[in-house]
Structure 1
């Protein structure tokens, strides 16, 4: 059994960022599909900007996102800082504010999660 926290930090500005997003989603999907594994998918920093795009059914990666969406959460502070707070609030994606408005990476480490960033 493996616990993994996939953290998407890549923004939406470049082809390289999109590549990091897709690789992160694919990694999350692999953990989600493996019996006994537990995965948390966290959109943090500029990565929060992906959620409104991925929620759009016309997105090239909407289907991949849907495969891992139930494991997804977003940084509460960063959603506001990157201007996507309202769009995320229109979804049922949970926002995390455990540590000064951000997700607590320490608590994930304490719970034996491997932290993988994209």
Structure 2
């Protein structure tokens, strides 16, 4: 059994950002497909901007996102800082605010999660 926390930090501005997103979602799917693994998928920082795009059924990576969406959460503070509040609310994703409005990386480490950032 593996505990993995995939953190998407890449924004939506460049082709390389899209590559980081896709690699992160593919890694998340790999963990999610293994029933023995525990997965946390967190959109943080500029990564919160992806929610609106990925919720669009016409987006190239919508289906990949949908395959791991049930595991997804969003940094509460960063959703506001990157103007993603409405998209996150519309999507109904969990907001994480354990550490001054942000996810608690320490808690994940304490729970034996490997943290992988994209």
Q: TM-score under structure 2 normalisation?
A: 0.99
Query: In the alignment, does 2:113 pair up with 1:113?
Result: yes
Local SS of the residue matching 2:73: strand
Structure 2: gaps of 5 or more residues: none
Q: Work out the CA distance in 2 between the residues paired with 1:62 and 1:89.
A: 18
Which residue of 1 is the match for residue 94 of structure 2? 94
Which residue of 2 is the match for residue 37 of structure 1? 37
Which residue of 2 is the match for residue 69 of structure 1? 69
Q: TM-score under structure 1 normalisation?
A: 0.99
1:87 is displaced (CA, Å) by 1.4
Q: Work out the CA distance in 1 between the residues paired with 2:19 and 2:91.
A: 24
Q: Work out the CA distance in 2 between the residues paired with 1:71 and 1:28.
A: 9
Q: 1:53-68 counterparts in 2 under 5 A? A: 53-68=53-68
1:35 is displaced (CA, Å) by 2.1
Query: In the alignment, does 2:80 pair up with 1:80?
Result: yes
Q: Work out the CA distance in 2 between the residues paired with 1:22 and 1:2.
A: 21
Which residue of 1 is the match for residue 104 of structure 2? 104
Runs of 4+, deviation exceeding 6 Å: none
Measured against aligned partners, the alpha-carbon deviations of 1:6-33 in whole angstroms (never above 9, x if no partner) come to: 0000000000000000000000000000
Q: RMSD value over aligned CA atoms?
A: 0.5
